[in-house]
């Protein structure tokens, strides 16, 4: 289904204060070719809500090759729990080899995570989104005050749109807090990553994720050696662009 920017903005306005379930129902009702991006606690909530609509949808995940063993177990646990097909996206091995041969396995500690994430995450996502008309993410406004405070429930994904195709992104949990996510997980006994029981809140690749202290923000454990305002891997590039625009 092709939609214009005005329609997407209308959805964003009309559904801003609606339940995540209603936003998911809208998304699945409007698009046949739509996928849920899955990696963490928020995303299993989205899958659970989507399953309960009874409508078809796809689920995909990015395997960077650097995930925790616990994360791999979590992915398989969710696949079995819901009986879904989990489409796993892998990076181009040639590009990975070239980066590692040139800079080693931990170059991101020295010159930032952008290059590594571009190869291991952004490129595979771009390839997957080329097969979809819309995608659903678990972004929340309070996940990263520096970059996600203005995340709408529906938007044109400019980072992955092209002259002949408007990519639509839905963020049904934009107005939820972490507490609400975990209340839902516990209420419906959903599977979750066992790392959450060891102080990990926002979980990415193993070398770039650490447990956080009680007083730290949940994203403090991601790329902790970099500035908080740069803590986006490129999957949601519009967040950084919107932040830059607001600062002008």
The catalytic residues are 233
Alpha-carbon distance of 77 to 73, in angstroms, equals 6
Rg (CA), the chain: 17
The token pair that represents 28 in the structure block: 């699945």
C-alpha closest to that of 243 among 229, 233, 225: 229
Q: How does DSSP assign 34-102, residue by residue?
A: EEEE-SSHHHHHHHHHHHHHT---EEEEE--S---HHHHHHHHHHHHHHT--EEEE---HHHHHHHHHH
CB 115 within 8 A of CB 108: yes
Alpha-carbon distance of 91 to 170, in angstroms, equals 24
Q: What is each CA distance from 4 to 1, 14, 103, in whole angstroms?
A: 10, 16, 43
Alpha-carbon distance of 95 to 87, in angstroms, equals 21
DSSP H helices, 83-226, are: 93-103, 108-111, 114-117, 123-129, 178-187
């Amino acid at each position: 289904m092709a939609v214009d920017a005005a329609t997407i903005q209308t959805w964003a306005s009309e559904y801003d204060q609606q339940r995540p379930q209603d936003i998911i129902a809208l998304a699945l009702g409007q698009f046949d070719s739509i996928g849920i991006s899955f990696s963490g606690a928020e995303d299993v909530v989205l899958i659970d809500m989507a399953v309960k609509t009874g409508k078809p949808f796809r689920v995909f995940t990015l395997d960077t090759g650097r995930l925790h063993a616990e994360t791999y177990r979590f992915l398989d646990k969710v696949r079995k729990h819901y009986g879904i097909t989990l489409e796993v996206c892998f990076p181009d091995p040639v590009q990975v080899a070239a980066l590692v041969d040139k800079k080693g396995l931990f170059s991101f500690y020295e010159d930032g995570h952008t290059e590594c994430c571009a190869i291991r995450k952004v490129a595979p996502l771009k390839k997957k989104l080329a097969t979809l008309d819309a995608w659903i993410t678990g972004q929340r406004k309070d996940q990263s005050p520096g970059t996600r405070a203005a995340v709408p429930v529906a938007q044109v994904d400019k980072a992955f749109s092209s002259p002949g195709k408007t990519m639509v992104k839905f963020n049904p949990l934009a107005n939820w807090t972490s507490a609400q996510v975990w209340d839902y997980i516990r209420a419906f006994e959903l599977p979750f990553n066992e790392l959450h029981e060891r102080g990990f809140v926002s979980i990415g690749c193993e070398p770039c994720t650490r447990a956080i202290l009680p007083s730290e923000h949940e994203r403090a454990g991601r790329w902790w050696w970099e500035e908080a305002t740069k803590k986006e891997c490129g999957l949601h590039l519009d967040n950084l662009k919107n932040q830059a625009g607001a600062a002008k």
